[in-house]
Structure 1
Amino acid sequence: MSFISVIAKENFITVMSDSEAVGSESTPNPEQHVVKVGEKEFVATAGGDREAREVIAKHISDLLIEGTPYDRILVILEMTLAAFSEKGKSVMTAFGGINASGEIEVCTYDPNSRAERHLKPRGSDIAYFFLAEGAGKYGNLYELLQNYWKETGTETPSAMIQSQKLLNRYVASKDEDVSTSTVKLVLKR
């Protein structure tokens, strides 16, 4: 399993994933739970199985490269994930970046709860997503993240990465399937 956090502000996005799938003797090819698309966008996947995550990440990446609007990608993602969910391969997905208008935009969809979010943070707004199966079992992660922000601040990508690292360590302490080792992605406007 993997734990991924996505934080977006008006001028940047930070994405952090535990690096549980970095490869081992039994799995020599590492899996990327977070894929950078071009210089301005990303796709993140968790849950389901590796094949399903890779298919979804490739499909969304292709749509981003083609310049498909985010709201349209979200509709396509919901339909695609509905087919995977019927096969018992439920994949939580987040994507976004700097859209065609030069604005930060992020979307997520969880086929388990059918919850979707499509946000464009402005001013001091902070958009956040967590991709993890059963994230509720870790307690109120947003409240915990807000407490970390009191320590790290929220104004810079490095401050957000620091808070996400603390959050990842907390989740890893509660779940042996989540690694304390992490990988990060920062996109700036």
Structure 2
Amino acid sequence: MSLVSVVARENFVTVMSDGRVQDKVGTIQEDYQKFVQLSPNLFLAFTGHAEPAEALLKAFEIQGFKNMLPEMAFEQFNFLITGLIKAFISKSPYKLLMAYGGVNEKNEVVVYYINSLDLSCDHYSPKGNDINVICLGNGHATSPLLGTYLNRTGSDTPQQILSAQRMLNDHVAELDESVNKHTFQLIIEKLEK
């Protein structure tokens, strides 16, 4: 199914995805980035079937929302994207897991997780030493393993966390043919005051 990991700290968020896309027959692409940076402070990541995710992104652009992002408050974006996801994805027979977030207009790191099967939505806004981890795809079983890797690499800087995320990705790629070792990464950091 793929692997996308998102780690949020009080001052930054990191995103890493593998690049493999498969269909019923086999692998169709090895270098597909499973997240988009919608603005300098905002990302949207997904696993599951690529078609509904791409259709959702296309609908987002067609509606003109992408052009409005620089002026749009984060909560407005959350309301819009949640509504689009719930309306659009609920009609799809495919499983799609999504995470989105970044740094809001209050200069706070905020991350959301949505599961298309039950339309559940979780919200994270780490404070102090909090570390919020979201693993999409092979996620729930891999979250504790990412914690182990974070203990090895440290978790104070984006580079330390990306190192742990790469270790997780490589481990999962050894065990699961739907994940490869070709990774993409993103860092979004709070503005210094």
Instruction: Report the alpha carbon displacement of residue 27 of structure 1 after superposing the two structures with TM.
Output: 5.9
2:98 is paired with a residue whose SS is strand
2:180 is paired with a residue whose SS is coil
Instruction: Report the alpha carbon displacement of residue 80 of structure 1 after superposing the two structures with TM.
Output: 3.1
1:20 aligned to 2:25?
no
Greater shift in the superposed pair: 38-47 or 10-19: 38-47
* Counterpart AA for 1:10: E
**Residues 128 and 70 from structure 1, CA distance in 2 versus in 1: closer, same or farther, beyond 3 angstroms?**
farther
Equivalent position to 2:74, from 69, 72, 87: 69
1:54 is paired with a residue whose SS is helix
| Structure 2 Cα separation of the partners of residues 74 and 92 of structure 1 | 18
2:173 is paired with a residue whose SS is helix
Deviations along 1:119-170, one digit per CA (max 9) or x if unpaired, are 11110011111110x545xxx3222112111210010000000000011112
Please, which runs of 5 or more residues in structure 2 have no aligned partner?
22-26
* Counterpart AA for 1:14: T
1:54 aligned to 2:44?
no
**What is the Cα-based RMSD across aligned positions, in Å?**
2.6
Greater shift in the superposed pair: 26-35 or 153-162: 26-35
Deviations along 1:102-135, one digit per CA (max 9) or x if unpaired, are 1111111012243311111110011111110x54
* Counterpart AA for 1:38: S
| Structure 1 Cα separation of the partners of residues 88 and 13 of structure 2 | 29
For the Cα contact (< 8 Å) 1:78–1:111, is it kept in 2? no
Deviations along 1:77-111, one digit per CA (max 9) or x if unpaired, are 25634543433133211111110111111111012
1:9 aligned to 2:14?
no
| Structure 2 Cα separation of the partners of residues 66 and 146 of structure 1 | 36
| Counterpart for residue 41 of structure 1 | 42
| Structure 1 Cα separation of the partners of residues 30 and 18 of structure 2 | 16
For the Cα contact (< 8 Å) 1:78–1:109, is it kept in 2? no
Under a length normalisation based on structure 2, what TM-score does the superposition of the two structures give? 0.80
| Structure 1 Cα separation of the partners of residues 136 and 57 of structure 2 | 14
1:86 is paired with a residue whose SS is coil
Please, which runs of 5 or more residues in structure 1 have no aligned partner?
none
**Residues 10 and 113 from structure 1, CA distance in 2 versus in 1: closer, same or farther, beyond 3 angstroms?**
same
Q: How many residues of Structure 1 are paired with residues of Structure 2 in the alignment?
A: 180
| Counterpart for residue 24 of structure 2 | none
Identity of aligned residues (%): 31
| Counterpart for residue 146 of structure 1 | 147
